[in-house]
């Protein structure tokens, strides 16, 4: 009695091969998505960490402005621009800062808090570490979308007259392409770190705001391009009171 042949047919082998290929493709697609999600998460975390750290650093550095530099009366007079300079169209080339300084006459006209004041992309100030120390120059600038911290050469002691002649050493706080925006400067009855001023301390002080994009998409944006929520830092410069004239 003859026995029929047993085994796989060509069709069953082809079906098995197709199923295996589909399984492999599904696994590769899942792996690709996992790698993309992981890479995006790392990039977002790095961006958010850098922005948060940079804005906090900028706040702390800004509040040094005017420290021990002249009397309180001088810092609240028309001499404010001896210690604080706001620049527009600022560029930094081989350590040399160029731009247009805001006219001193504009400062007394600022009656509202940032961001409703005047804007620029660089700020330079002078300060002393003690009453007997030699003054130093520091600054912050948004150059090509990057936020950089500036440190003037040892000979720079007055922001107003030496900001364009000193050699600046720059340190990148926020890399280019992360939406660092221009500085906005105004006057407000402010105090550092958002503390509310009391009724006996109502002088208008210089206030500076700066913002940069974090990694969260802004659902309320009407811009056709992807828009991101901005992290904002506000610094109250208690050493500079609103000029009276």
Q: How many domains does the chain have?
A: 1
* Residue 42 φ/ψ, nearest 5 degrees: -65, -45
In a domain, 127, yes or no: yes
Residue 103 is predicted with a pLDDT of 63
In a domain, 3, yes or no: no
Contact between residue 170 and residue 107 where contact means Cβ atoms under 8 Å apart:
no
Residue 220 is predicted with a pLDDT of 74
Which residues, including other chains, have CB under 8 Å from residue 62's CB and lie 6 or more apart?
A: 123, 125, 140, 208, 235, 237
Residue 12 is predicted with a pLDDT of 80
Residue 105 is predicted with a pLDDT of 55
For the stretch 115-140, pLDDT in tens is 467 888 999 998 888 878 888 999 99
Range of the domain at 201: 62-241
For the stretch 213-224, pLDDT in tens is 887 777 777 666
In a domain, 225, yes or no: yes
In a domain, 17, yes or no: no
40's tokens:
């995006």
Residue 114 is predicted with a pLDDT of 44
Number of Cβ atoms within 10 Å of the Cβ of 165 = 12
In a domain, 36, yes or no: no
In a domain, 6, yes or no: no
50's tokens:
């850098």
Residues lower than pLDDT 50 in the chain: 112-115
- pTM metric for this prediction: 0.76
In a domain, 43, yes or no: no
Residue 52 is predicted with a pLDDT of 84
Distance between CA atoms of residues 138 and 149, nearest Å:
8
**Nearest CA among 158, 138, 169 for reference residue 61:** 138
189's tokens:
């009855």
CA of residue 18 relative to chain centroid, distance = 53
């Amino acid at each position: 009695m003859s026995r029929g042949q047993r085994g796989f047919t060509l069709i069953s082998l082809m079906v098995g091969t197709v199923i295996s290929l589909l399984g492999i493709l599904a696994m590769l697609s899942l792996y690709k998505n996992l790698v993309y999600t992981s890479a995006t998460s790392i990039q977002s975390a790095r961006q958010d960490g850098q922005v948060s750290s940079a804005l906090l650093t900028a706040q702390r550095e800004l509040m040094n402005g005017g420290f021990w530099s002249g009397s309180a009366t001088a810092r609240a007079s028309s001499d404010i621009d001896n210690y604080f300079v706001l620049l527009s169209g600022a560029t930094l080339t081989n350590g040399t800062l160029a731009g247009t300084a805001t006219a001193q006459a504009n400062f007394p006209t600022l009656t509202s808090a940032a961001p409703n004041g005047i804007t620029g992309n660089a700020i330079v100030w002078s300060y002393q570490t003690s009453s007997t120390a030699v003054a130093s120059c520091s600054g912050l600038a948004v150059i090509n979308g990057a936020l950089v911290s500036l440190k003037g050469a040892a000979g720079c002691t007055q922001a107003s007259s030496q900001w364009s002649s000193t050699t600046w050493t720059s340190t990148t706080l926020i890399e280019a392409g992360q939406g660092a925006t221009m500085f906005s400067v105004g006057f407000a009855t402010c105090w550092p770190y958002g503390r509310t001023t009391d009724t006996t301390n109502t002088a208008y002080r210089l206030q500076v705001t700066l913002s940069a994009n974090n990694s969260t998409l802004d659902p309320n944006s009407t811009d056709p391009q992807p828009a991101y929520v901005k992290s904002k830092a506000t610094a109250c410069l208690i050493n500079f009171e609103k000029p009276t004239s």
